[in-house]
Structure 1
């Protein structure tokens, strides 16, 4: 990314180094052909950070870094921003009436995780090896063509699998969300009960032919079970709104050059 193409970012006379914005840009997504979007997002994030730090120092707050994980602590800037938001934001506690009203909008949203009864055939390879990946894909395509959608042949064909499940006809048993690698789960969610993937699916382990034998949909959970989760979500939303309003109030009295705080 050519940093010279982008304007300098200055917040209340404080210049933000282009190198810092470039480093921050690595944390923001953008289309490959539009790197400027990542830069603008990063410039916005750094401008907001500068506004908050300036306000924290104006209030003469002292940083008190907290331990985030074993031997991993906040930076002093992170601690300052946290202290500022703790002092500046006033969040109205979420009431039980608000939680129940949110739940009542659609109780069916709150379900236990589904269970999938799954079988697969694996043609193992290292996806980073172009030749090995192509050979394994051709092998998987050949197996899929032989199956021709016939579930009865699946267990027999699975004897050629590179997974230990071949001993049980490729059967993996019951799986829930998070039990498999993301690419496998994404393909699993896209197929109908009793069917298999129309094409081999590539994962970090190789090419899979996946069959969804049956699915047990998650059950609707009772209100008391989901109440803490809903309350937490409402509190998080309230905190986000209050933070946004506070930042907007700081921005109104600030002079910001080279960055926009409007949604990108």
Structure 2
């Protein structure tokens, strides 16, 4: 009976979700601490029970037994998928809606700036003061030679660099934001084409001589190139909102104990 359920038990409509089930579900909800993971797992199982209960109430039969990757689904998973497809409809995003989003958020649709990078690495640990100072001294000495003979960069890289890129004369290819350590990126992106960094660049890997090559500035992507991804994003956002509202309605109609779910008094917007 509902009145006999333990005070702290998690249940939906009088059906208790066992602590063992919640503990097993926790692995799917990583969190900063065990309490947060427990709460997330409990909410997920309550949502699942709400959806299964509604599907059974409506007499729905599962229509699919495989997911979009072709993997066989459990009967309960198929039942939930069929319920959502029937009860939570999301309109297809139009070109006009996608274009309006594109024009409203132009910064989201720019290509990343790219810089072709060349470097010579003197490997040393920052914790080894002697090795570190020797690397700095070697880098500064080689930089003086490069100022007199810029065309000798590739040969010096092949001879002195501790990086595998020495086989390409120190060329790392094109680098975009976030593709290398912050110290290297900060030094590289302020250089002009063909400019040698005035000071050695220190990173956790050692001491670098850095030179920038050809630069490609960030550019606005054409709408046609991002139309499909914008529509997918808009439809996914609509689905999330519709699902949240649908679950809120189900939660407001159910006797849920042990966890808090949002409730809604409004109708589901289809």
**Is TM more than 0.5 here?**
yes
**2:244 counterpart residue number:** 244
Taking the aligned partners of 1:43 and 1:82, their CA distance within structure 2 comes to 20
Taking the aligned partners of 1:189 and 1:248, their CA distance within structure 2 comes to 49
Q: Does 1:165 align with 2:188?
A: no
Q: Deviations over 1:198-231 (max 9, x none)?
A: 4316xxxxx8969573552332111222221111
Q: Does 1:109 align with 2:112?
A: no
**1:235 counterpart residue number:** 235
Q: Which of residues 187, 200, 205 in structure 1 aligns to 2:204? A: 200
> Do the aligned partners of residues 250 and 223 (structure 1) sit closer, same or farther apart at CA in structure 2, a change above 3 Å counting?
same
- The answer for unaligned runs of 5 or more in structure 1 is 1-5, 125-133, 202-206
> Do the aligned partners of residues 120 and 19 (structure 1) sit closer, same or farther apart at CA in structure 2, a change above 3 Å counting?
farther
**1:23 counterpart residue number:** 24
**1:10 counterpart residue number:** 11
Query: Number of residues paired by the alignment?
Result: 235
Q: Rg: which structure is higher?
A: 2
Whether the 8 Å CA contact 1:53–1:77 is kept in 2: the answer is yes
Q: Give secondary structure in 1 for the equivalent of 2:218.
A: coil
Taking the aligned partners of 1:191 and 1:9, their CA distance within structure 2 comes to 51
With structure 1 as the length reference, what TM-score do the two structures score?
0.71
- The answer for unaligned runs of 5 or more in structure 2 is 1-6, 148-152, 192-196, 263-270
With structure 2 as the length reference, what TM-score do the two structures score?
0.69
> Do the aligned partners of residues 54 and 160 (structure 1) sit closer, same or farther apart at CA in structure 2, a change above 3 Å counting?
farther
Whether the 8 Å CA contact 1:65–1:74 is kept in 2: the answer is yes
**2:97 counterpart residue number:** 98
**1:88 counterpart residue number:** 87
Taking the aligned partners of 2:11 and 2:163, their CA distance within structure 1 comes to 57
Q: Give secondary structure in 1 for the equivalent of 2:117.
A: strand
Q: What do you get for the CA RMSD once the two structures are aligned?
A: 3.8
Whether the 8 Å CA contact 1:118–1:212 is kept in 2: the answer is yes
> Do the aligned partners of residues 67 and 254 (structure 1) sit closer, same or farther apart at CA in structure 2, a change above 3 Å counting?
closer
Q: Does 1:191 align with 2:186?
A: yes
> Do the aligned partners of residues 237 and 145 (structure 1) sit closer, same or farther apart at CA in structure 2, a change above 3 Å counting?
same
Q: Give secondary structure in 1 for the equivalent of 2:261.
A: coil
